[in-house]
Amino acid sequence: MAAQQSTIIYTHTDEAPLMATYSFLPIIQAYAAKAGVDVETRDISLSGRIISQFPERLSEEQRLDDHLAELGELATKPEANIIKLPNISASVPQLKAAIKELQSQGYDLPDYPESPSTDEEKDARAKYDKVKGSAVNPVLREGNSDRRAPAAVKGYAKKYPHRMGDWSSDSKTSVATMGKDDFRSNEQSVVIEAPDTLKIVHVGVDGTETVLKESLPVEAGEVVDSTFMNVAALRRFLTEQIAAAKADDVLFSVHLKATMMKVSDPIIFGHVVQAFFPTLFEQYGEQLAAAGVSPNDGLGALLSGVEALPEGDAIKAAVQQGLAEGPRMAMVDDRKGITNLHVPSDVIIDASMPAMIRIGGHMWGPDGNEDDCLAVIPDSSYAGVYAAVVEDCKKNGKLDPATMGSVPNVGLMAKKAEEYGSHDKTFEIPAAGTVKVLSGSGEVLMSHDVEPGDIWRACQTKDAPIQDWVKLAVTRSRASGSPAVFWLDETRAHDRNLIEKVNAYLPDHETDGLTIEVMAPDAACAYSLERIRQGEDTISVTGNVLRDYNTDLFPILEVGTSAKMLSIVPLMNGGGLFETGAGGSAPKHVQQLVEQNYLRWDSLGEFFALAASFEHLAGFADNAGAQVLADTLDAATATFLLEDKSPTRKIGGIDNRGSHFYLALYWAQELAKQTADADLAEVFAPLAESLASQEDAIVGELNGVQGEPADIGGYYRPDDAKSDTVMRPSATLNAAINGF
């Protein structure tokens, strides 16, 4: 059903945000209905996306429409009002695990074909390729990003500062990056003068021409880039860093984005695995390849994949030998022996690097203790940002959440802007030769000489999103009074073209009295850190990847988590997309729920997104009741923070379900006492009284289930009835909401 003017779409996603939805959505729908607002759901979960690709293999009851495609179309329309919760950006191991679970639940899905040969396998692979990686965000993000810490969250962090680890001036923690022969150093960039259709070809040293991309439509003014990483140089670099970590006796860690960069970074990850275990792959590389075991999937998949091999025990012994002979490895979970190299999606740079910085430059070692580390970030495009923070903390000590300023972000991401490594323009080169980007007339626009195994990629950034991005930066600077800094490096090919466009479009806006600057990312980071320590705010205006990194880095340091950010995407055609924060911690929360029936996920991001969504709807649909819902929800959230009703750190206190009860209570109380809509006040007064009078009983019922395992019927595709039972265990609260 198409969205109507008073309709909000609340996305059904994955992991902890999904489990929280089972608890929170009934409250939202009950309250919104009183103001004539419908709140509908659309399934964009990983499992839902998989199911939607294979209707011909499934029963009528099992089939799902392609809700992601539906929302992608809606995002281009003025009536769009979408609340987007975090979803799984699937790595190949996650995709395989989801397929296996769905098959066990009776879904007739094909296995993921690693090396498709038949037409059927190629068709299945093409469908799965649509699902893996950052498949959701590029479809929905028809606007640029405005992400910042709400005043209430910042105030709470100052009043109740989270713990920050101490930094030592003699810390051995450092960031290592290639600096040459990588994506950053090999980049070429052109601005397209007129609409065209480009072609990407590989010309072998023997003259054989292979078309890598037959048709690449481009618009006038569009920025198109191409670059490659030299894999021989990458392997040398990795070998050197492994030796350096061993010599310095620090933890070895690698930090990539194997989800968003779903083509390039898993390949890089695989090279790290091979570089760390050279003897293993020298001895057993052929057997592993023959068994379909890829280092790109990580050490965990390798150990699992060799169980049935005759050489399985010997391969496991070689892994243990490699761990013993190499540097100490940073751990994801030392209790379970899960290393930094087990799963490519376990150590995502935008979550792992801020966490390391927050606890004093440490990661967890195999002995269960914190220690200094060598953080390896192969590509040098943005490694300098993290290096700047590390060096600042060594010099000036830990940051203080009670006094520090803020770094909100305006991010360029509309119309798939700057999608490095995550799309169909990234290739692992099979043979030596030259990769060329050709215009429709055959002119060579960009060209790179490549070797077998090199990783080549191209990306596009359309002109209209760039103009909108500049406008949004000026708008936010004027609204906040803070300086806006474009994090662009004039020595980088892509950034040079963006700087020219920024300089061309800034005069279209009123900038008198504003501070608008352009700085290279590492310098911009150092400048922002200097201001942060003085309690001052600085808007970071960045491209897509840095948007992703900065909107985790600074919030984690400022307020303890990126899940509490207000994330608004003003869609370019007038609608609104409201994102609820990052989901990097979501997997661990689900594990705890299943083990202890305790969900620590904090839904504060959902509260802020929902209020912004109501406010947007009020203006678009001329719905005064929606504005009342927005205003009272904001007030209730402020009370929620002051009363400290977020989930407690340990079992025994309120968890996500308890936090939803208190939000419902405070929201009902605010609605009951507001004067803008007497009818709504009258409707909510009895509910407010009922929830308040039954507080002890409700909290007792919610907390009483903790401590025992919880059955939700699946990780990637939980059972609705079981999950509803787990996430709504208070009969008293259910009766109040359902009756209302």
CB atoms within 10 A of CB 447: 14
Give the per-residue pLDDT at 582: 64
Beta bridge partners of 204: 433
CB 388 within 8 A of CB 525: yes
Q: Name which of 584, 645, 566, 106 is nearest 351 in CA terms.
A: 584
Give the per-residue pLDDT at 567: 87
Give the per-residue pLDDT at 394: 97
Give the per-residue pLDDT at 654: 97
Burial readout 588-612 (b: 16 or more C-beta within 10 A, e: otherwise): ebbebbbebbbbbbbbbbbbbbbbb
Q: Based on C-alpha coordinates, what's the Rg of the chain?
A: 26
DSSP 419: -
Beta bridge partners of 734: none
DSSP 65: -
538-575 confidence digits (pLDDT tens): 999 999 999 989 999 999 999 988 878 888 999 998 99
Mean pLDDT of 254-282: 92
* Residue 1 pLDDT greater than 50, yes or no: no
Give the per-residue pLDDT at 430: 95
Give the per-residue pLDDT at 152: 83
Beta bridge partners of 426: 457
| Residue 25 token pair | 């959505």
* Residue 584 pLDDT greater than 70, yes or no: no
591-634 confidence digits (pLDDT tens): 999 999 999 999 999 999 999 999 999 999 999 999 999 999 99
Percent of the chain with pLDDT strictly greater than 90: 85
* Residue 3 pLDDT greater than 70, yes or no: no
Q: CB-based contacts of 380: which residues, under 8 Å, 6+ apart?
A: 177, 178, 179, 180, 182, 184, 185
E-state strands within 168-310: 174-176, 188-191, 196-204, 209-218, 223-229, 251-254
Give the per-residue pLDDT at 652: 92
Angle ∠(161,165,168) on CA atoms, nearest 5 = 135
Mean pLDDT of 510-532: 97
Mean pLDDT of 684-689: 97
Q: Beta strands 209-218 and 338-339: pairing type?
A: unpaired
* Residue 583 pLDDT greater than 70, yes or no: no
DSSP 415: G
145-192 confidence digits (pLDDT tens): 999 988 888 888 998 899 999 999 999 999 999 999 999 999 999 999
Angle ∠(266,267,271) on CA atoms, nearest 5 = 115
642-663 confidence digits (pLDDT tens): 899 999 988 999 999 999 999 9
40-57 confidence digits (pLDDT tens): 999 999 999 999 999 999
* Residue 315 pLDDT greater than 70, yes or no: yes
Q: Cα separations (Å) of 342 from 116, 173, 298, 331?
A: 25, 22, 5, 9
